[in-house]
């Protein structure tokens, strides 16, 4: 069952449009308004309860995966690696393209090696445009993704990525956008 604090926090989440794409704003997904530590603690406790933590590293994507991954790393003692939007040109850097519901860009993966066992966590899955290429790149480079946990599941992205990869994805809260409101499902 989704934590009550997380579910209640959705009542105040406004919705804005990027073209035709309805984008919800929440402290865990945007840092606006301020993130309530009790909500973050609840989310981390839920992830710890359901995730495979027999891993070498936690992996997340900047920017809003960082607070989540950091809190999870502190709670578990597992090191964290951040997939960045900036290219560093380090040896072994992996680069991939992402297309989200509201933009396109490149992502760069450093600090992972063949044989690493990882838990991937992120704030939202909507279209799957970030997660699918990340999972493909990690797999192609011999990184073993042992588990994937997303806080908010919106749209069909989870089903699309699961079908394309054959990998189950766990989420804490399914949501929909109805007009200018976020609706927990």
- Confidence at residue 101, expressed as pLDDT on a 0 to 100 scale: 62
CB half-sphere exposure, 15, CA atoms < 13 A:
17
Sign of CA dihedral 60, 66, 72, 77: positive
Please state the domain extents for the chain: 43-174
Render pLDDT for 173-183 as a digit per residue (tens, 0 to 9).
999 999 889 99
- Confidence at residue 104, expressed as pLDDT on a 0 to 100 scale: 79
- Confidence at residue 100, expressed as pLDDT on a 0 to 100 scale: 67
- Confidence at residue 94, expressed as pLDDT on a 0 to 100 scale: 87
Mean of pLDDT values over 9-24: 89
pLDDT band at 3 (very low <50, low <70, confident <90, very high): confident
Total Cβ atoms within 10 A of residue 56: 18
Architecture in CATH for domain 43-174: 3-Layer(aba) Sandwich (3.40)
- Confidence at residue 19, expressed as pLDDT on a 0 to 100 scale: 85
């Amino acid at each position: 069952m989704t934590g009550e604090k997380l579910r209640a926090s959705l009542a105040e989440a406004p919705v804005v449009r990027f073209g035709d794409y309805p984008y919800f704003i929440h402290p865990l997904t945007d840092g606006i308004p301020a993130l309530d530590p009790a909500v973050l603690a609840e989310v981390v406790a839920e992830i710890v309860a359901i995730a495979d933590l027999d891993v070498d590293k936690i992996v997340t994507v900047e920017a809003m995966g960082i607070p989540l991954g950091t809190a999870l790393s502190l709670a578990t003692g597992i090191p964290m690696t951040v997939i960045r939007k900036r290219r560093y040109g380090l040896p072994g850097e992996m680069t991939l393209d992402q297309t989200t519901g509201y933009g396109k860009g490149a992502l760069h993966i450093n600090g992972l090696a063949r044989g690493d066992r990882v838990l991937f966590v992120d704030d939202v899955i909507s279209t799957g445009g970030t997660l699918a290429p990340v999972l493909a790149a990690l797999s192609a480079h011999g990184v073993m993704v042992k588990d994937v946990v997303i806080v908010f599941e919106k749209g069909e992205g989870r089903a699309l990525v699961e079908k394309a990869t054959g990998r189950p994805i766990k989420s804490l809260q399914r949501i929909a956008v109805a007009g200018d409101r976020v609706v927990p499902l």
